[in-house]
């Protein structure tokens, strides 16, 4: 049986960092931490997270602390996230969906489609309403 694979957006990563994920999304992250699932994040989503951390953004009432490097370590180096760089396959998908989404959402959906992941971990209603398989609640 294939290992379940998911795409996470920046919001999911930020909420993970402050331990505020809803039950269903938290379960997927726990599976990834245990090596039972893979969570990929487009490089653009990770860049958004590092930017937010550099600005001490408030996430769900919790102030982000630490440095962008601390966040990268917690997510990628020592955490459950696999980096999914944007390549030509994602750009082909991006070109086909860019009209329906914001730049960030389109890159997440393009990565999900090009890499054929099982679902997108996101709270974004636009992605959900577009019929993309999502996990959040």
Q: Detail the DSSP E strand segments found in the chain.
A: 5-8, 38-42, 58-59, 62-63, 81-84, 119-121, 134-135
Length of the chain: 137
Q: Hunting for tokens 């726990």 — which residue is that? A: 30
pLDDT in tens, 59-89: 888 888 889 999 999 999 999 999 998 889 9
Q: For residues 82 and 79, what is the distance between their CA atoms, to the nearest angstrom?
A: 9
pLDDT in tens, 94-114: 999 999 999 999 999 999 999
Q: What is the pLDDT of residue 128?
A: 93
Task: Record the pTM.
Answer: 0.93
94-103: long-range contacts (C-beta < 8 A, 24 or more apart)? 100/130, 101/126, 101/127, 101/130, 102/126
């Amino acid at each position: 049986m294939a290992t379940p694979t998911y795409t996470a957006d920046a919001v999911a990563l930020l909420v993970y960092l402050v331990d505020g994920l809803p039950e269903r999304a938290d379960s997927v992250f726990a599976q990834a931490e245990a090596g039972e699932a893979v969570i990929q994040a487009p490089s653009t989503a990770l860049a958004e997270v590092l930017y937010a951390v550099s600005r001490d953004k408030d996430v769900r009432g919790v102030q982000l602390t630490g440095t962008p490097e601390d966040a990268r370590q917690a997510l990628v180096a020592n955490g459950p996230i696999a980096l999914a760089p944007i390549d030509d396959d994602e750009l082909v998908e991006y070109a086909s969906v860019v009209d329906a989404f914001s730049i960030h959402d389109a890159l997440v959906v393009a990565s999900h489609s090009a890499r054929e992941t099982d679902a997108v971990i996101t709270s974004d209603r636009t992605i959900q309403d577009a019929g993309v398989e999502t996990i959040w609640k």
